[in-house]
Amino acid sequence: MIPVLDVRGLKVTIRTDEGRAEVLDDVGLKLERGRILGVVGESGCGKSTLIRAVMGILPKGATVEAGEIWFEGENLLVFSERELNRQVRSSRIGFIPQDPLLALNPVFKVGTQLLEVMRWHAPGTRRDHIARLVMLLRRMQVPDPENALERYPHQFSGGQRQRLLIAAALSCAPRLVIADEPTTALDVTTQHQILLLLRELVSEFDLSLLFVTHDFGVVAELCDDLCVIYAGQTVEAGPVQTILRAPSHPYTRALLACHPDRATSFVGIPGLVPSPLARPAGCLFAPRCADVRAGCDVRPGLGRAPSGAQVRCVQFT
Amino acid sequence: MKPIVEVHDLTVMVGGRRGLLVRNVPPVRAVDGVGFELGQGEILALVGESGSGKTTLGRTLLGLQRETSGEIRLDGTTVSGLAPEAARRARRDIQYVHQDAGAALDPWWSIGRTLAEGLLIHGVRSAAERVDRVAEMLAAVGLDPAWGRRYPHEFSGGQLRRVALARILLLRPRVLILDEPTSGLDMSVQATVLNLLLELRERFSLTYLFISHDLSVVERLSDRVAIMHLGRIVEIGATKPLFAKPSHAYTRALLDAVPRLEGRSTSIGMPVAAK
Amino acid sequence: MKPILRKLARDVPAMLGLAIVLLVILVAVLGPLIAPYPGDASASHLLQRLKPPGNGHPFGTDNLGRDIYSRVILGARGALAIALTVVGVAMLIGVPLGLLAGYRGGWLSETIMRITDIVLAIPQLVLALALAQLMSPSLESAMLALSLTYWPFFTRIVYGETRRLSSSLFVDALRGVGAGTGRIVFLHILPNAISPVIVRATIGLGFTILVAAVLGFLGMGATPPAPDWGLAIAESRLYLPRAWWYATFPGLAILITVMGFNLLGDGLRDLVDPRIRRSR
């Protein structure tokens, strides 16, 4: 079966005032149909650039230097801006943003904003669109879905706003949904409810979900597969249970050791993610790695660890 | 353990507005009859969701928000019922570390100048002494003293938390109210900040009131936990037994909702619906 | 600070404005030294009257035979002095009022802001004319009148910034640390609020030069024989259109100077606009 999303060797650079930033160096990930793939990494690792590249909304000055983004068997990178807008964005890829308050315009009614997107991307009449939205809002357990469309964003609580945006992401019946840390701004109980809801929606609407987060706990609860990103590279990828049980890459191990559920003492990872303007010559994690050995001065490729996960470390190549 | 802070039946009403031209808005009972003790050297976590009143409680202890009724005692002396400026003076030993450490710094002032300012306000007249103490404290929180010349935007999130801690510790407080000290930080950075908090507690014999909604951090860090819901403390007790055997339904709901590394939680739906 | 300056250097219109402003300042400072006939500020040479440009008078001569080129140069100092005084006085009134109203709140703030609104609602030129008329027509009363009409702009800006900043987290933190009101207002809020004030002041300098010229034109500003640009245009009316140069060159001086300040002000505004500043 063809994966819904298959990113291979993606390399993206951004021109900045201080020079050329290598934001993504070699990112690969594979999202099979009906599954939830978690993408984890510290801030500054290129998670948001990855999302933008898949959605085709890279910022000005950014160039895709190499790689392929296959979506349902089509390479998105050969699409023109116009084709992307018409055929892919919103209609086949839905997006759930991090901050629901920033994503909604406070001066327009919720219905106006949600229907605007459907007008461009969903088949059918306005009446069909309203019917579908009300159905979705009811499914999202938004109270009083018939009248919700007539209300303004500030009249909803944070959790409800996030539900509105999930409904918006599903409004054009997409195949793939990308969620960018959609629960970080929420309380734990609300987060829990949203995660359960997402899980149900994936099977109910035959979706595939790409879930970006920095919280391993959320990954463990929600995701089937996991892709750990460090400094613009995929460093470990495989089924969630495999990686959580036996993390292979030193970075994955260090990140997991920071989680309060696992930490024996609070040590953290020394140092910072290297700046995309000045990446070290060898393995990108070597400067912070507790397990440096001979051969770390050469950039490793992806290999296979005994656990079965794909790992980018000299130990496994 | 001798209590350093005692709170009895504290109620705080916030908001509310009466005016000639504006609509009358009734005040909200943000903190509703709360009582607890804070022992010398302990870490008490104040856990609750947004709107539970935990931040208001923290600001009231500090004296930035006026209590409506109830009593606050610091070292056995009553410090409640005072006018705002007097309250703040009486509670100098209690200090507050903001959640958004970057926004709590004046963007136009270098870190060193901001840190020295606190000393100046607290009566350290000698400029040389201020410089020395700032450098010493920057080192104590794990920053290079030479970074005092830098401006807030030049620091990372984790470094800003350290700056905020240094600024407050220079005032030689005994009780620190830490408002979500790790929210928004990466796991790797969060761990180092928590570690620093434990270290500083030893070094400066501090007592922490730790406001957080991150239960996995609370479980690891605090000695006791107070669970707040709708302005009241619904459950308070030592961390281990409380996490192992929560007695209040809301506490159970909170604990069930925490994402755990040990895999998917099986409970579908919430025992207590969040409002 | 450096990247901000680099950004300004890349803004061509702003750099043009800056160049014009620097040129005007230079001319104002060096005036009597670079003017070919510095004595023409007051002297008259009736034999030379209304000579067209050329022949030792690049801008021609006026009705009293004075060299217009020299008088345009000599006029720069007056124009700049008026502008700086007016904007300076307006800031001295407007900025403290804005700080007070913004930080204190309550009836005092309401009173200050309502007066500000009222003054803002009156067309500036009309108010300035009325005030200048009340006092005896002279340069001093024109400057005072302009200052009294311009301060509300600063009050409004500073009030808004102060309101925003006093509810900001860093001011809250300062209160927690125990900082007093004076320290918070003057050492923290004022420096943070000053950027939009500088922008407004720069644009205000150009605007004031324009309004001062209008007052001069209407006979309520500078008095003859001062080499005032507005006054020169007023005097030229009798000799138009034959002596076109008489009004043209003082007019161009006003146009270019005002444009210079406006371009610079716009460039500065782009720099301090927080939306642009944050997207480094």
Q: Mention every residue, 6+ apart, whose C-beta is less than 8 A from residue A27.
A: A7, A9, A10, A11, A46, A50, A67, A229, A232, A233, A234
Asked whether the predicted pLDDT for residue B7 surpasses 90, the reply is yes
Do the Cβ atoms of B221 and B44 come closer than 8 Å?
Answer: no
Q: Is residue B124 part of a domain?
A: no
| Residue-averaged pLDDT of chain C | 83
Q: Which chain A residues are within 8 Å of C6, Cβ to Cβ? A: 17
Q: Residue B66 falls within a domain, yes or no?
A: yes
Prediction pTM value: 0.80
What's the pLDDT at B261? 83
Which residues does chain A have within 8 Å of residue C280's beta carbon, measured at their own beta carbons? 17
Q: Does A18 touch chain C (CB under 8 A)?
A: no
| Cβ proximity of B249 and B256 under 8 Å | no
d(CA B92, CA C119): 45
Q: Which of residues 34-63 of B touch C (CB under 8 A)?
A: 62
Is residue A17 within 8 angstroms of chain C, CB to CB? yes
pLDDT grade, residue C223 (50/70/90)? confident
Phi, psi of C58 (to 5 degrees): -60, -30
Locus of tokens 């004296």: B63
Q: What is the CATH number of the domain that holds B83?
A: 3.40.50.300
B54 inside domain:
yes
CA distance C129 to C151: 16
Residue range of the domain that includes B35? 1-93+211-265
The reply to whether B256 falls in a domain is yes
Structural domains counted in chain B: 1
Count of pairs with CB atoms under 8 A, one residue in A, one in B? 113
Three-class DSSP category at B224: strand
Amino acid at B264: R
In a domain, B10, yes or no: yes
Q: Which amino acid is at B158?
A: G
Q: Which member of A42, A193, A221 has the closest CB to residue B264? A: A221
Rg of chain B in Å (alpha carbons): 20
Report the pLDDT value the prediction gives residue B229, as an integer from 0 to 100: 92
Q: What is the rounded CA–CA span in Å between residue B216 and residue A12?
A: 36
Other beta carbons less than 10 A from residue A4's beta carbon: 24
* Burial zone of C216 (CB within 10 Å; 0-12 exposed, 13-18 middle, 19+ buried): buried
Among all residues of chain B, which has the CA nearest to that of C188? B106
Beta carbons of C179 and B121 less than 8 Å apart? yes
**Backbone φ and ψ of B203, nearest 5°:** -65, -40
Size of interface B-C (CB pairs under 8 A): 51
Q: Looking at beta carbons, which residues of chain C come within 8 Å of A17?
A: 3, 6, 280
Instruction: Please tell me the predicted confidence (pLDDT) of residue B273.
Output: 38
In terms of pLDDT, which residue wins out, C272 or B13? B13
Q: Determine the 3-state secondary structure of B119 from DSSP.
A: helix
Query: Is the pLDDT score of A14 beyond 50?
Result: yes
Residue B18: its pLDDT value, please? Answer: 60
Q: How many angstroms separate the most distant Cα atoms in chain C?
A: 77
A192/B260 touch (CB, cutoff 8 Å), yes or no? no
Domains of chain A: 5-92+177-274 (3.40.50.300), 107-173 (no CATH)
A168 and A178 Cβ atoms separated by less than 8 Å: no
Tell me how close the Cα of A17 comes to any Cα of chain C, in angstroms: 9
Question: What's the sign of the alpha-carbon dihedral A73, A75, A78, A83?
Answer: positive
**ipTM (interface predicted TM):** 0.78
DSSP for B9-72? Answer: EEEEEE--B--SSSPPB--EEEEEEEEEEEETT-EEEEE--TTSSHHHHHHHHHTSS--SEEEE
Cα–Cα distance for residue pair A169/C258, rounded to 1 Å: 52
| Closest residue by Cα to residue B130 from B146, B114, B144 | B114
Domain membership flag for residue B130: no
The answer as to whether B204 is a domain residue is no
Q: C280: nearest CA in chain A?
A: A17
CA gap B152, B112 in Å, rounded:
10
Q: Name the 3-class secondary structure at A131.
A: helix
- pLDDT tens digits for range A96-148: 988 777 788 888 888 888 888 888 777 888 888 999 999 999 999 888 888 88
* Helices vs strands, H then E, count in chain A: 11, 12
User: Burial of B39 by CB count in 10 Å (0-12 exposed, 13-18 middle, 19+ buried)?
Assistant: middle
Nearest-Cα distance to chain B for A82, in Å, is 36
SS3 A311: strand
Residues comprising chain A, all counted: 317
CA-based nearest residue to B116, from B189, B165, B171: B171
**CB of C123 less than 8 A from some CB of A:** no
CA distance A16 to chain C (A): 9
Residue B75, pLDDT > 50, answer yes
Q: For residue B109, give the nearest of B73, B163, B190, B46 by alpha carbon.
A: B163
CA distance C5 to chain A (A): 13
Distance (Å, whole) CA C78 – CA C216:
12
CB B142 within 8 A of CB B194: no
> Considering only CA atoms, which of B106, B110, B111 is closest in space to residue C190?
B106
Residues belonging to chain A with any Cβ–Cβ distance to chain B shorter than 8 Å: 42-43, 158-159, 184, 187-193, 195-196, 214-218, 220-222, 241, 244, 254-256, 258-263, 265-269, 272
Instruction: Give C177's contacts in chain B (Cβ within 8 Å).
Output: 95, 117-118, 121, 167-168, 171
Which has more confidence, C183 or A81? C183
Residue C275 pLDDT > 60 = no
Report whether pLDDT(B17) > 70.
Answer: no
Q: Which residues of A touch B49 (CB under 8 A)?
A: 187-190
pLDDT given at position C278: 39
User: What is the three-class DSSP state of A43?
Assistant: coil
The amino acid occupying position C130 is A
Residue B195 falls within a domain, yes or no? no
Q: Using a CB-CB distance cutoff of 8 angstroms, which residues of chain A are in contact with residue B264?
A: 220-222
